[in-house]
Every structure is written in C-alpha cells, then in structure tokens.
Amino acid sequence: MKLFKKMFKQKTTDSISSNSEEQQKIKISLDQNIKYINETLGNSDDLVSRIISVGQENRMEIGIFYIEGLVDTQHINDFILDPLMVRLENIDQQNDLPTVIQKSIVSVAKVQDAHHLDTALSSLFSGQVIILFDGFTKGFTVGLSGGKSRNVTEPSQESVIRGPKEGFTETIRTNTALIRRKINSPNLWVESMNIGTVTETKISLMYINGIVNKKVLKEVKTRLDKIEIDGILESNYIEELIQDKTFSPFPTINNTERPDVVSASLLEGRVAILVDGTPFVLVVPSLFIEFFHAAEDHYQRWDFSTFIRTLRIMSFFITLLAPSLFIAITTFHQEMIPTPLLISLAAQREGVPFPAFIEALMMEITFEILREGGIRMPKSVGQSISIVGTLVIGTAAVEAGFISAAMVIVVSITAIASFTIPAYNMSISIRMIRFIFMGLAASFGLFGITIAFIGLILHLCSLRSFGVPYMSPFGPFNVQDQKDSLFRFPLWGFKTRPRLISQQNRKRMESRYPKPPFDK
C-alpha cells in the first residue's frame, strides 16, 4: 500500500509551468524587440520576421512577425503588406501612426492591441500576426490564422446509413461552427479556456442556456479548473482527469465524432467539451444505456430502431456471457444440454486435451491478439492477418486437435457481438470483464456467473456521471425516460427531456399523435 502511494504521490519541487518570469513590456526600439523575440523562441526557424519601412521623409520601420504554416501567407500579402507598403507611401510621419494603421489601413477583421511582448508571443502560436513599430511601445496582433488542416470528412468511427455524413475535425473552430450550424439559437453558449501549462490547449464548453443542467455545468467547470498538467493532447486527457471514478472499467463520459450526436445531447441538457486537436468531443453526463445508442436510432423508423437496440442489448449479454455460459454448462450443468447435442459435443471434445476453461481462455486471448494486431499493423498487410486469423480461429485449429469446433463458434459469436456495440470504449470494458466471468464460471458454474453478475450490477449502480446515477433510468427506475433507453418510442412520444439530465425546462414538444387532416 505504501509503495502504491509512493508511485502516485511523487513530490517534486519543480513547477510544471515553463516560464514564470515577469511580463515583458514592448520596448521602444524595434531592434530590442526583435532580439527579445528571437531569444525567447530560440531562433526558431519557422518564425518569419519581416521588416518594412514606410513614409517619405521620416521613414519608420515596422516589424511583422508570424509563424509559418499557422497563418495564411496570401492574406498577409494582400491585407497587411500591400496596404502598408502602398497606401502608407504618401502618408507623412504622424504622432499616432499605429492607431491610424490599425483603424484605417489594415483591412482585417480581427485586430487587437498589444502592450506586452509575452502575451503577443503566445498569440503568435494560435495563428496571429504581430505588428510592432519602431518608436512606439504599442503594437497589435492581427488574426489571420490559416494553414493546413484536415477537411470535414465522414466520421470513421460512427458511420450511418441514413443521417448526416459530416464529422468533427482537429480544429476547434471548425467543430464549434459545425455545431452552431445545427443549432441556430442565441442560447447556444460557448465558454473557452486554455488548459495545459505548456501546450495551452484550447478547451471549449458548449451548452444551451436555459436547458442545461446548471449543477452539472458548475461541476464541470470546477473539475476543469482543478486540472494542472503540462499538456492536453487528446480529449481522453480531460476525460481521465475529470471522471467520477478512476477504478472502474466503465466509461462515465461519452465521446463522439458526430456534430448531430453532440447537438442532440445539447438539446437534452448536457454539456459538450471540445478539445482543440482532436475530433472526439466529450459529452457529460453520460448514462450506461447511452453507450448502446447509435445516432441512427433516431433517423430510422422507431420500430426498427427498437428492434436494433434490443439486438444490441442481446449482443451485450452475448459478449459478456457466451464463453462463460458455455464453460459453465459443459463443465457443471451438462443435463441442460439436449441429449443429441450433448453426444455430439462430447464426441468433438474427445481429442481435445484441455478443459473447457483453458480452451476458451486460449481462444479468447488469441482473438484479442488478432484484433489488436489488426488495428496496429500497416494497412497494406491487412490481407495476411485475415488469412492467418481464419486459420487460427477456424477449421485448422479444430483439425489440429487444439480446440473443439463448438468453441470456435462460441468465440466467433462473442467477437461479432462485441462489434455491434456502438461505443468502442464500452465494448473494451465488456471484453475485459468477460474474463472474470469465465474464471468464475470455470470454478462455480452458473452460481459463479450469477454472483459475478450481481456484483457487476451493484458496481454499475454505484457509479455516477457528474452526479447522475449511471444506471438510470433503470436503477433508479423512471417510467418516463423509458421512451429513449431500451426502447425507442415514436418521436411524438418524446414530450419531455430526460429527468435526471436536464432538471429545468423539461418540456420538449407540443405535437400530438399525427393524424391525417380529413380523419376526425
């Protein structure tokens, strides 16, 4: 226990932040400023500093700084260099030249005053251009961020047959815009902050004012404020630092790549957390059953969606229980198997040297290895793994006398069932827990499985996602919210928002059961 504490509570005197010096003011001499900038950035190669001089008699030097690749060079030429060098040609020395330039020369929308070099420098990295003047302690930054970024493409994780085909990108501004295009309301609010003392990653909270659960919003903010880390590279950094419980295999924060899913969540009163640099947006609070919902459930007819959801829940149980049930029944409860099947099973197992548990364990682990190999390897060698895979989990393994044919079927159905769960993180947790179930099934049969299942349900019931019980609307049971959990009722039945998610403004629609107009 002490070792454990030691591992996690290392005390270091170093501060995580990289620079704790005082703010450097912009100096009057341009040369000094250039020198400071170059020193601070360590003469970095991608910093472009361009010095131009304007005016007829008293030529004045103007320095323009930007990071190559983060800004749109064409725009700098058109809207900064061109007006400065052409239009200022005839202007005489004035007392307040920077203000004149800012107000009437630079034809760019986003221009901000700068008095401190350090703040100006940090804006340099978010794609701004710094303009400094010789002889003035004042400069300004111009927002011309551009450069290369990935286009909006179809999401790779959550594909749909019917529904919008756009997915988030790595650029946070694009992502917020994608959501704004779906929700055209002034009540859609965005709050931003920078987290990460070195990376200064931009994090945005999005929610609909008036619908959002204020308690959850406040909780999210306080938890985000507590984060002190050097860098945030993916939204999982945030997820792990703000989740309710670390020691649980289950995710309590959902993530999605789809703007429509985020918009639907916002409309239910949730909070979306966008992180710059990743297309995966976090949605809180999230409930257990929501990890089995796909975006398409709302884009197909309700009866079909309900059927598909039921199928997914079945797949959940198959993934979790199929191998362990097989082990339990073949080892402890043979009497449950119909006699002809029992005979054929026994005949298959005749040459197999291992007990059912070892057999299942071997096959399941093999399959996990295959799956991991399939994800990590280069795409060009994909063919080979599928060939090897079919040999390993297939007739060859049976013919070699390693495993029985029935086990192949069980392992395959488990694998396929695990793919039907839409949320990848949920499917991982179930795959892990499956092994505990298998162990208990091998030692205690159905009793062991039931005990493990009770334990699992208890654990799930003890979880909370930002104060909302994870297993609602089943435990605590709520009749109204059954409309969109296990079942998917027709849309006209969605009269209220989920009870525990949005606690204010619960009414959602007025529309009644649709009827043809002539039908009285």
Residues that bind another protein (CB under 8 A): 215, 219, 223, 226, 241-246, 329, 332-333, 335-336, 338-339, 444-448, 450-451, 454-455, 457-458, 461-462, 464, 466-467, 469, 471, 474-477
Least separation in angstroms between residue 219's CB and another protein is 7
Least separation in angstroms between residue 443's CB and another protein is 8
Beta-strand (E) ranges in 105-184? 111-114, 128-133, 139-143
Least separation in angstroms between residue 467's CB and another protein is 4
| Nearer Cβ to another protein (5/512) | 5
Least separation in angstroms between residue 336's CB and another protein is 5
Beta strands 188-195; 128-133: pairing state:
unpaired
Tokens of 58: 């008293």
- Which run of H or E residues covers position 168? none
| Nearer Cβ to another protein (114/238) | 238
| Nearer Cβ to another protein (155/469) | 469
Judge contact between 466 and 269, C-beta under 8 A.
Answer: no
| Nearer Cβ to another protein (289/407) | 289
Omega before residue 473 within 30° of 0, cis:
yes
| Nearer Cβ to another protein (112/331) | 331
Judge contact between 246 and 464, C-beta under 8 A.
Answer: no
| Nearer Cβ to another protein (250/466) | 466
| Nearer Cβ to another protein (177/193) | 193
Task: Give CA–CA dist 59/51, Å, rounded.
Answer: 12
Least separation in angstroms between residue 12's CB and another protein is 22
Least separation in angstroms between residue 252's CB and another protein is 10
- DSSP code string of 490-511: -GGG--B--TTT--S--B----
Least separation in angstroms between residue 254's CB and another protein is 17
| Nearer Cβ to another protein (70/452) | 452
Task: Give CA–CA dist 99/108, Å, rounded.
Answer: 14
Long-range contacts of 323-326 (CB under 8 A, 24+ apart): 323/360, 323/364, 323/410, 323/411, 323/414, 323/434, 323/437, 323/438, 324/434, 324/437, 324/438, 324/440, 324/441, 324/449, 325/441, 325/446, 325/449, 326/356, 326/360, 326/406, 326/407, 326/410
Please provide residue 446's backbone torsions phi and psi, each rounded to the nearest 5 degrees.
-60, -30
What region, left, alpha or beta, does residue 67 occupy, with left being phi > 0 and alpha being psi -120 to 50 degrees? beta
Judge contact between 273 and 176, C-beta under 8 A.
Answer: no
Residue indicated by tokens 């049971």: 477
Residue indicated by tokens 């670390």: 246
Least separation in angstroms between residue 486's CB and another protein is 10
| Nearer Cβ to another protein (36/332) | 332
Least separation in angstroms between residue 240's CB and another protein is 9
Least separation in angstroms between residue 232's CB and another protein is 16
Judge contact between 167 and 156, C-beta under 8 A.
Answer: yes
Task: Give CA–CA dist 303/282, Å, rounded.
Answer: 29
Judge contact between 272 and 262, C-beta under 8 A.
Answer: yes
| Nearer Cβ to another protein (163/448) | 448
Least separation in angstroms between residue 210's CB and another protein is 22
| Nearer Cβ to another protein (296/481) | 481
Tokens of 429: 């947790």
In terms of Cα–Cα distance, which of 350, 357, 349, 352 is closest to 328? 357
Contacts of 112 (CB under 8 A, 6+ apart): 123, 140, 141, 143
| Nearer Cβ to another protein (241/267) | 241
Least separation in angstroms between residue 307's CB and another protein is 18
